[in-house]
């Protein structure tokens, strides 16, 4: 099983990639920088599961917190507002 590369508080950038297939990284969050909120554990890779493969080894999954102002430059609410998204390790780079 791949080791956890990140811990809570680490700054990470979501890959800005658009591969085909069943991807659980929402479009709107690709390329954004956020902070690891928690390590959720390791789960079978959904991109592999969608191809009827085992999805193993399980991949570390993180909960990443993003400032809404970073995600949507014209965000209308408070500057403190955040959105949290679950993202697999292979979609994250250190930022």
Q: Which is nearer to other proteins, 8 or 41 (CB)?
A: 41
Quick check: 40 and 85 in contact, CB under 8 A? Answer: no
Alpha carbon distances (Å) from 69 to 5, 29, 42, 51: 26, 12, 30, 36
* Residue 80 in contact with other proteins, rule: CB under 8 A: yes
The gap from C-alpha 80 to its chain's centroid, in whole angstroms, comes to: 20
* Residue 76 in contact with other proteins, rule: CB under 8 A: yes
Of these, 14, 25, 36, 89, which contacts other proteins (CB under 8 A)? 25
* Residue 55 in contact with other proteins, rule: CB under 8 A: no
Question: How many chain residues touch other proteins (CB under 8 A)?
Answer: 27
**How far is 23 from 16, CA to CA, in rounded Å?**
13
Q: Which residues are near other proteins by CB under 8 A?
A: 24-26, 28-29, 40-41, 43, 46, 61, 63, 68, 71-72, 75-78, 80-88
């Amino acid at each position: 099983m791949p080791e956890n590369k990140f811990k809570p508080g680490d700054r990470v950038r979501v890959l800005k990639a658009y591969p085909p297939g069943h991807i659980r990284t929402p479009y709107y969050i690709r390329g954004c920088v956020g902070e690891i909120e928690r390590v959720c554990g390791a789960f079978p890779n959904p991109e592999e599961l969608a191809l009827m493969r085992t999805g193993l080894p399980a991949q570390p999954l993180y909960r990443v917190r993003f400032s809404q102002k970073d995600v949507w430059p014209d965000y209308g609410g408070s500057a403190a507002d955040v959105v949290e998204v679950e993202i697999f390790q292979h979609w994250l780079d250190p930022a």
